[in-house]
Amino acid sequence: MPEHASQPFYMPSGNEIAVFEQCHANQLAVMLKGPTGCGKTRFVEHMAWRLGRPLVTVSCHDDLTASDLVGRFLIHHDHMAWQDGPLASAARQGAICYLDEVIEARQDTVVVLHSLTDHRRTLSLEKTGELIHADPGFQLVVSYNPGYQRMLKDMKPSTRQRFVALDFEFPPTDREIAIVLREGGTDTATAHALVTLAHKLRGLHDRGLVEVPSTRLLVATAKLIAGGIPLRQACYVGLVAPLSDDVSLAGAMRDLVDLTF
C-alpha cells in the first residue's frame, strides 16, 4: 500500500519524473543532489505514491550505525527477538528506501548499501545468518546537499558509482511561484513578490551568505502571511532570521525585504 492516500503535490522542474520511473523499472538506485529545501523529499514522496510503493525514510546522522539500518536483536519479554531495521524492512516489502542526508552517515555504515545496489540485490543479516533477497519493487534513494561540508565529507567513489544522480536546483521562477501559491496559500501578487525577493536574497551568496533561502522557507513565510502576519515581519522571521546571525548580512537582507514590501 502506498504511504499516501492522496497524491503528494510535486511540481517538476524537468523530466526527473520520467528518469526516476526508468530507474525504478530498471532497479537502479538514485542519488538526489541539491540544496536543502528544494523539493528532494517531496519528489521521493511523490514518486513513491506514483509507483504505488511504500516509502521508508531514514534521516542520516553521524551516529547512525549499520545496525540502525539493518536491524538488531531486542529483548522481547524473556527472550531476544530480531527486529528488522528500516533497510531490511524496505528490502523485504519492496519499498522505496530514502536515506536523507546520506553524507552525514559514516562510510562504514554506508557500505551496507553496496550489496543492495548491484546485481546481487541482497542484504546479509550477519547476526541471524539470513540473506535477504530484495523484493523486485525495492529501490534505494539517497539525497545530500553538495554545497554543505563539501570539504569535510564526501562519498567514496565505490559508493557513488552505484547511483544514477539527479541534480536538483531551486525551481524555475514560474514554478516556484506556483509552489508558493499552492503550498503557502497567499495571493498571486504576494507569491510573485516572495519569489522575486528570494532571487535577490540568493544573490547575497556571493557576499558571504552561506545558506540561501530555500523554497521551504518561502512556503513557511507565505503561510505566515496567509495567516495574517504583516508582510515585512513575516519575511524577517521566516526568511531573514533563519539564514544568518551575521548582523551586517541580516541588515542587507532586511533592506531587500523593505525594498520589496
Q: Which residues bind ligand ADP (CB under 6 A)?
A: 9-11, 34, 36-42, 171, 179, 183, 215-216, 219
Q: Least Å distance between CB 41 and ligand ADP?
A: 3
Q: Which is nearer to ligand ADP, 45 or 84 (CB)?
A: 45
Residue nearest to ligand ADP (CB): 39
Q: Least Å distance between CB 15 and ligand ADP?
A: 13
Query: Helix, strand, or coil here: 14?
Result: coil
Q: Least Å distance between CB 29 and ligand ADP?
A: 17
Q: Least Å distance between CB 40 and ligand ADP?
A: 3
Q: Which is nearer to ligand ADP, 172 or 251 (CB)?
A: 172
DSSP character string of 63-104: T--HHHHHEEEEEETTEEEEEE-HHHHHHHHTPEEEEETGGG
163-167 vs 139-144, strand pairing mode: unpaired
Q: Least Å distance between CB 183 and ligand ADP?
A: 4
Q: Which is nearer to ligand ADP, 11 or 102 (CB)?
A: 11
Residue at 195: amino acid letter: V
Q: Which is nearer to ligand ADP, 24 or 40 (CB)?
A: 40
Helices 40-51 & 16-25, crossing angle to 10 degrees?
50
Q: Least Å distance between CB 61 and ligand ADP?
A: 15
CA distance linking residue 95 with residue 145, whole number of Å: 24
Q: Least Å distance between CB 155 and ligand ADP?
A: 18
Q: Which is nearer to ligand ADP, 41 or 132 (CB)?
A: 41
Compute CA distances 228 → 223, 232, 234, whole Å.
Answer: 9, 12, 9
**Beta carbons of 101 and 144 less than 8 angstroms apart:** yes
**Beta carbons of 97 and 132 less than 8 angstroms apart:** no
Q: Least Å distance between CB 152 and ligand ADP?
A: 19
Q: C-alpha grid cell for residue 38?
A: 528544494
How many Cα atoms occupy the beta-carbon half-sphere of 68 within 13 Å?
Answer: 15
DSSP character string of 92-159: HHTPEEEEETGGGS-HHHHGGGGGGSSTT-EEEETTTTEEEEPPTT-EEEEEE-TTSSTTT----HHH
